[in-house]
Amino acid sequence: MAVVPILSALVVLPLAGAVLLLLVRNRGHERDRFIQWSALGVSLAEFALSLWMWRGFDPSQADFQMVERVDWIPSFGIQYAVGVDGISLFLVVLAAFLTPLALVSSWRSVHKKVREFSFFMLALESAMIGVFLSLDMFLFYVFWDAMLIPMYFLIGIWGYERRVYAAVKFILYTMAGSVLMLVAILTVAYLHSVATGSYSFDYEAWLTLAVPRHTQMWLFLAFAVAFAIKVPLFPFHTWLPDAHVEAPTAGSVILAGVLLKMGTYGLLRFAFPLFPDAAAYFAPYLAVLAVIGIVYGALVAMVQPDMKKLVAYSSVSHLGFVVLGITAMNVQGVQGAVYQMLNHGVSTGALFLIVGMLSDRRHTRLISEYGGLKHVVPKLVAAFFVVTLSSIGLPGLNGFVGEFLILFGAFRWNPALAAVAASGVILSAVYMLWMFQRVNYGAVTNPKNEGMQDLDTREKWVLWPAIAMAVFMGVAPWVFLEPMAPAVNRIVARAAEAEPAKVVRVAAPAPVELKKGPGPFSGR
Amino acid sequence: MLLLIPLLPFLGFLINLALGRRLSKGVSGGVACAAMLGALLAAASSVWSLLQMPPDARGIVQQVAPWMESGTLSVPFTLRLDPLAAVMVLVVTGIGFLIHVYSTAYMHEERGSEYARYFSYLNLFAAFMLVLVLGASFPVMFVGWEGVGLCSYLLIGFWFTKQSASDAGKKAFIVNRIGDFGFLVGMFVVWSQFGSLDFQDVARQAGQLPPEATFGATSLATLLLFLGATGKSAQIPLYVWLPDAMEGPTPVSALIHAATMVTAGVYMIGRNAVLFSHAPETLALVAAVGVATALMAGTIGLVQNDIKRVLAYSTVSQLGLMFVAMGVGAFAAGIFHLYTHAFFKALLFLGSGAVIHALAGEQDIRRMGGLRKELPVTYWTFLIGALAISGVPLLSGFFSKDEILWKSYSGGHTLVWAVAVVASLLTAIYMFRLVFLTFHGERASAGSEHALADHGHAASPGHGHAVAGHDRASEGGHLHDAPPAMAIVLVVLAVGSVAAGYVGVPAVLGGSNHIEHFLAPSFAAPGVEESGEHGASPAEARAEMVPGNEAKGEGGHEPAGSGDHGAELGLMAVSSGIALAGIGIAAYFFLRNKDAAGRVAARFAGAHRVLLNKYYVDEFYNAVIVQPIKRVSDRALWRVVDAGVIDGAVNGAGSFVNGASAILRRLQTGSMRAYALSVFVGVVLILGYYVWR
């Protein structure tokens, strides 16, 4: 155990702050400012803590670090166990990075029940970070479901018109998946007791378990469906546009920025390494769904009249890339996938922030209501532009690195699928630039847009960090790729042991002979 | 310090970006020009040190930073200067600097903040272009490759208020992205074949393979890369963005859409000469596409009436010729033409800019005429540019174009040669149509307006150029020739258009074709010359690789026998004759006998309309690709598949579960924990909702 239980501090701090906020009396909104600043303070402290964790992280290690273990329900082998490796490291930092931005972005738009809003945002942060740090499957499951509750309220209370429908759909959909996962978790714990005589929910113990191939299939499917819904992978995505459109800005930022990554994180952390044979069998099918999602999400995004829906469908497309990288299961694919998770958090988070700022001003998200904004709000449009470029993967910004590595890895695995996926590069330019043009270029045709205010100081502080991060991650990707590498190698190596089944290919034979002849998963 | 070359313009960009609003026009324009001048000096000093090295070992490498490292893939951010890159950096910084200077006067009527915005984009463009040129590997080149596309987007749409301008910018970006898709996938194929993305590594390995007899991985890789080149360099099928790109300010057209960025595709093929040499099928396609594009663009150029669009089609056509050179394996000739073209095409565009500037934004050549007397500097420099591009002997275009024609003929590509000759004839005709209609004859009077009404894209007043207080032109009053900053640039470029060709005078005319010898090492596989036991020069080693070119020495001097000398001189006479014939035809139709042109157009009204409408290619793309994708996405994918089928199934499942849950509940005996938990969560949610609402 680490000298300072930094990971537990990361999990507990936001929740503790949240509970303290509930003690503040705020009947007549007289302490709104105080609550907002306190919540921001807590989330900034959390961010600082996450950076401290990064500083203490040993980038040469593949194993979990800063591990803390305490028995929780010993009779079932349930522990409180947390640890961090190169994959979860940056996801935690991402969650801690986005929460303050999301909080500040809501200062003007959320007037109702400010105290409760701040409470749920911070509670959500605790749960998210718990999900990424859990090493015990039961603990993971608790965080996984706990996270739904604050998000449900955030959408249901502070959302737009159809918020109740969206919130219920969101929760039922994800619950359906997580129930399946719970069954699978309990089954593995049972298998563990059959094999060793005692129950265990310990992730690392599970890795040593030899689950029969046939059983793996069912368990993998149960996990994969739960995660696929969360991602969301085509065709499990229809909850996402509804949830995004109805969610308040902060909810959308966190939903797109962090929550979706739990699906891809789960696939990478649990579904693939725990059931390698099944993963090898199903990977091509998942990859096909991912590629369909890339193209389909982009095409549907293109024709959306609502900006938020457009960004939501673009997430389906972007997350398709992430899943494709994971299914490729080679170093570049997986590193690209993790990188793309971070990118998507930064750039789509920022897109939702910007759309939120526009809708704060005009109370509409319809593209047709805008036009010519570059005349009126040049700073906002400039920020919008950089974020757009980041989202379409312009080299020099973050999106490119992730897409490049994913496509590279995917190409080594299955050139045909990678080539189809690469067409997403064209489509993303189409839908983003078309939207950007309709909103920002041309003359100001709608008189309601004439008096719009440009970014104020608060909003600048919300957008600057995201933009700076987009640039930094595009210019200096090695800063992130290096600490990630050992953990990624470990997962890839484990998947490679399931080699025989890996050769399954769904698409037509590759048009290219790989001269170097690396097996699909050998090079690393 | 290679890094300094792209870094200085980038710093200029940052300064104008951050402080632009607060700087005066003089300062922001000055910063931008100074940044370019610095880059030019840095480039010149680097090239100077390159020249000090022994000819076959010329190369300067600078590893700037690590960039992407993942497993066996390692992509450091590395810059490399070799002879090929040297030619390009000098063109980009030199022509780029001149165009920056010109712009300080041309853009002077923009507001201060817009002025700074313009220069920041221009500097950013130069920085990306220099990264493209100096990048030592595919991904680093790709940074510049996409970056220049971005700047092109920004500068085409500079006057973003205009729908047509922002449409054109978007079109340019998206069409380029189609090409980038090819570049990206081509890169992956290269890696899977050679295990490296570094240009030198790839060339070294490719040099050890025999040329591909059948379509294989190298052919596929080069084909995909060529798709990228057709996007950036405006070739069939992706040329459609370039004519529309004329929506941007004219100096932008000169810099980006004529002299530098659009040549990136040619440059990229030259950069991968060894790879392409090993893919004869791709090379054949490159030549075919090049010559088809040259011909098609030339025919369209004959009938266009917008001065900039004529030049745009002429650019497409000239780029086609460069691709012909690449396709027949005459890489040095292609780059030579790229280099001379940069001078005279920049000159022509800037000259047209001076005309547009003087006429307050008028771009329709039917409303011009007789400007010779009023704009003498513009006229004479423009004339020199037109002579150079037409291939009139002893001007720069003559040497480079002739080299391409000779190489394609002597390489056995007779058909390609013949079509290229026709395209050259067309060039001379439409260029002098432009000269005569614009500068000769009489000023078109306002009364002829109605005659233009039927025309599709007649320039609206104030077209492109934001005019303020420039109405004097419409009154037919005295016009002002180019202001000093513009005039100087025109003169310098005119001198260049005359003289630039003398670095490549062929042996048959008593020259020694310096540029070809200088470039040769860049087109040879590194290490090949050591392995050749008979001490073949790199150029000859390459000649062996190029199919259909075995007999002819690529060096273009010694090996050719006297018979070849005769043939070369004969061809030279033919192409000189062609240039003069083209000028003569133009003089007949557009100077002496203007009615004849109208009669010909009326006689072939159908063909004329097809050409005027650019073969309806845009309409075809729109009807066959753009609209169907939009319609299917909207009506089928979104409204039917997504909202109907998938979400319908989800909601249907929801109601089914609702109805059946009572029964299912009794059947559910195994997993009590799941059940209990979901009930618990459900209760919390429902209660919670009512509490908090």
Q: Mutate which of A238, A332, A440 to disrupt the B interface (most B C-beta within 10 Å)? A: A238
Distances (CA, A) of A313 to A28, A153, A231, A287, A420: 39, 23, 12, 18, 18
* Position B250 confidence tier, pLDDT thresholds 50, 70, 90: very high
- What is the rounded CA–CA span in Å between residue A375 and residue B661? 57
| Cβ atoms of B369 and B437 closer than 8 Å | yes
Query: Strand pairing partners for A147?
Result: none
Query: What letters, b where the CB count within 10 A reaches 16 and e where it falls short, cover B145-182?
Result: bbbbbbbbbbbbbbbbebeebbbbbbbbbbbbbbbbbb
State the distance between the two ends of chain B, measured CA to CA, in whole angstroms: 65
Contacts of B191 in chain A (CB under 8 A): 408, 411
Residue B658, pLDDT score: 67
Contacts of B188 in chain A (CB under 8 A): 407-408, 411-412, 415, 418
Residue B93, pLDDT score: 95
- What is the rounded CA–CA span in Å between residue B179 and residue A423? 11
- What is the rounded CA–CA span in Å between residue B113 and residue A389? 22
- What is the rounded CA–CA span in Å between residue B217 and residue B11? 41
What secondary structure does DSSP assign to A225-274, as a single string? Answer: HHHHHHTTPTTS-THHHHHHHHS-HHHHHHIIIIIHHHHHHHIIIIIHHH
Residue B495, pLDDT score: 93
Distances (CA, A) of B41 to B45, B83, B95, B124: 6, 17, 13, 18
* Position B453 confidence tier, pLDDT thresholds 50, 70, 90: very low
* Position B4 confidence tier, pLDDT thresholds 50, 70, 90: very high
Residue B661, pLDDT score: 64
Contacts of A330 in chain B (CB under 8 A): 71
Residue B71, pLDDT score: 86
A310 touches B: beta carbon within 8 Å: no
- What is the rounded CA–CA span in Å between residue A280 and residue B142? 33
Contacts of A489 in chain B (CB under 8 A): 71
CA proximity to B298, closest of B611, B621, B580, B585 = B611
Residue B466, pLDDT score: 42
- What is the rounded CA–CA span in Å between residue A391 and residue A351? 9
Distances (CA, A) of A368 to A3, A436, B69: 57, 11, 43
- What is the rounded CA–CA span in Å between residue A200 and residue A193? 7
SS (H, E, C) B598-638: HHHHHHCHHHHHHHHCHHHHHHHHHHHHHHHHHHHHHHHHH
Query: What letters, b where the CB count within 10 A reaches 16 and e where it falls short, cover B468-486?
Result: eebeebeeeeebebbbebb
- Closest to B693 (Cβ–Cβ): which among A157, A400, A511? A157
* Position B477 confidence tier, pLDDT thresholds 50, 70, 90: low
Q: Report residue B335: phi and psi, to 5°.
A: -70, -35
Residue B637, pLDDT score: 84
Q: What is the pLDDT of residues B26-40, one digit of tens each?
A: 899 999 999 999 999
* Position B592 confidence tier, pLDDT thresholds 50, 70, 90: confident
Cβ contact A304–B195 (<8 Å): no
Counting residues of chain A whose pLDDT is more than 90, the rounded percentage is 68
Query: Chain B residue closest to A332 (CA)?
Result: B70
Domain boundaries, chain A: 71-85+157-505
Residue B668, pLDDT score: 57
If phi > 0 it is left, if psi is from -120 to 50 it is alpha, else beta; for residue B212 that is beta
* Position B266 confidence tier, pLDDT thresholds 50, 70, 90: very high
Cβ contact B188–A477 (<8 Å): no
Q: What is the pLDDT of residues A63-75, one digit of tens each?
A: 999 999 999 988 8
For residues B537 and B209, the model is more confident at: B209
Cβ contact A394–B147 (<8 Å): yes
Number of A–B residue contacts, CB under 8 Å:
187
C-alpha torsion sign, points B551, B557, B562, B567: positive
Neighbours of B305 (CB within 10 A): 20
- What is the rounded CA–CA span in Å between residue A483 and residue A59? 4
Structural Rg of chain B based on CA atoms? 29
Q: What is the pLDDT of residues A449-508, one digit of tens each?
A: 888 889 999 999 999 999 999 999 999 999 999 999 999 999 999 888 775 444 444 444
B686 touches A: beta carbon within 8 Å: no
- Closest to A238 (Cβ–Cβ): which among B178, B194, B650? B650
Residue B631, pLDDT score: 87
ipTM associated with this complex: 0.89
In this structure, what is the dihedral angle of CA atoms A436, A439, A440, A441, given to the nearest 10 degrees? 90
Strands B60-70 and B73-81: what pairing? antiparallel
Cβ contact A524–B72 (<8 Å): yes
In this structure, what is the dihedral angle of CA atoms B113, B114, B117, B122, given to the nearest 10 degrees? -140
CA proximity to A43, closest of A258, A265, A352, A262 = A258
CA proximity to B144, closest of A399, A405, A470, A394 = A394
For residues B601 and B50, the model is more confident at: B50
Contacts of B647 in chain A (CB under 8 A): 238
Query: Chain A residue closest to B636 (CA)?
Result: A300
Q: What is the pLDDT of residues A360-390, one digit of tens each?
A: 899 899 999 998 899 899 999 999 999 999 9
B214 touches A: beta carbon within 8 Å: no
- Closest to B71 (Cβ–Cβ): which among A300, A331, A422? A331
Residue B649, pLDDT score: 79
Cβ contact B654–A172 (<8 Å): yes
Q: Report residue A92: phi and psi, to 5°.
A: -65, -45
- Closest to B160 (Cβ–Cβ): which among A441, A512, A513? A441
Residue A143, pLDDT score: 94
Within 496-515 of A, beta carbons closer than 8 Å to B belong to 511-515
Can you tell me whether residue A523 is helix, strand or coil? coil
Residue B156, pLDDT score: 92
Residue A224, pLDDT score: 93
What secondary structure does DSSP assign to B189-210, as a single string? Answer: HHHHHHS--BHHHHHHHHHTSP
Residue B690, pLDDT score: 64
* Position B546 confidence tier, pLDDT thresholds 50, 70, 90: very low
The mean per-residue pLDDT over the stretch B68-96 comes to 92
Within 128-157 of B, beta carbons closer than 8 Å to A belong to 139, 142-143, 145-147, 150, 153, 157
| pLDDT at residue B459 tops 70 | no
DSSP one-letter code for B445 = P
Q: What is the pLDDT of residues B19-28, one digit of tens each?
A: 878 888 889 9
| Cβ atoms of B654 and A172 closer than 8 Å | yes
Give the closest-approach CA distance of A3 to chain B in angstroms. 32
- What is the rounded CA–CA span in Å between residue B347 and residue B382? 7
Beta strands in A112-163 (DSSP E): none
Give the closest-approach CA distance of A450 to chain B in angstroms. 14
Residue B662, pLDDT score: 60
The H or E element that residue B376 is part of is helix B376-390
* Position A211 confidence tier, pLDDT thresholds 50, 70, 90: confident
* Lowest mean pLDDT segment, chosen from A22-31, A439-448, B90-99: A22-31
For residues B634 and B202, the model is more confident at: B202
Neighbours of B375 (CB within 10 A): 25
- What is the rounded CA–CA span in Å between residue A285 and residue A491? 20
Residue B489, pLDDT score: 92
| Amino acid identity, position A507 | A
Residue B613, pLDDT score: 85
Q: What is the pLDDT of residues A271-312, one digit of tens each?
A: 999 999 999 999 999 999 999 999 999 999 999 999 999 999
The H or E element that residue B180 is part of is helix B163-194
* Position A169 confidence tier, pLDDT thresholds 50, 70, 90: confident
| pLDDT at residue B7 tops 90 | yes
Distances (CA, A) of A488 to B389, B426, B474: 57, 60, 69
- What is the rounded CA–CA span in Å between residue A85 and residue A61? 8
* Position B665 confidence tier, pLDDT thresholds 50, 70, 90: low
B97 touches A: beta carbon within 8 Å: no
Counting residues of chain B whose pLDDT is more than 70, the rounded percentage is 86
Residue A491, pLDDT score: 92
If phi > 0 it is left, if psi is from -120 to 50 it is alpha, else beta; for residue A359 that is alpha
Q: What is the pLDDT of residues B304-327, one digit of tens each?
A: 999 999 999 999 999 999 999 999
Counting residues of chain A whose pLDDT is more than 70, the rounded percentage is 94
| pLDDT at residue B130 tops 90 | yes
What secondary structure does DSSP assign to A391-459, as a single string? Answer: HTT-BTBHHHHHHHHHHHHHHHH-HHHHHHHHHHHHHHHHHHHHHHHHHHSS----GGGTT-----HHH
Q: Report residue B232: phi and psi, to 5°.
A: -70, -40
- What is the rounded CA–CA span in Å between residue B134 and residue B79? 5
- What is the rounded CA–CA span in Å between residue B296 and residue B317? 8
The mean per-residue pLDDT over the stretch B247-270 comes to 92
pTM: 0.88
| Cβ atoms of A244 and A256 closer than 8 Å | yes
Residue B553, pLDDT score: 38
| pLDDT at residue B664 tops 70 | no
Contacts of residue B648, Cβ cutoff 8 Å, sequence gap at least 6? none
Average pLDDT, chain B: 84
Residue A401, pLDDT score: 94
| pLDDT at residue A428 tops 80 | yes
| pLDDT at residue B481 tops 60 | yes
* Position B212 confidence tier, pLDDT thresholds 50, 70, 90: confident
| pLDDT at residue B461 tops 50 | no
Residue B445, pLDDT score: 58
B626 touches A: beta carbon within 8 Å: no
- What is the rounded CA–CA span in Å between residue A257 and residue A466? 11
Length of chain A: 524
- Residue A390 token pair: 């980041």
| Amino acid identity, position B456 | G
Cβ contact A478–B68 (<8 Å): yes
DSSP one-letter code for A78 = E
* Lowest mean pLDDT segment, chosen from A50-54, A435-439, A502-506, B686-690: A502-506
Q: What is the pLDDT of residues B635-644, one digit of tens each?
A: 888 888 888 7
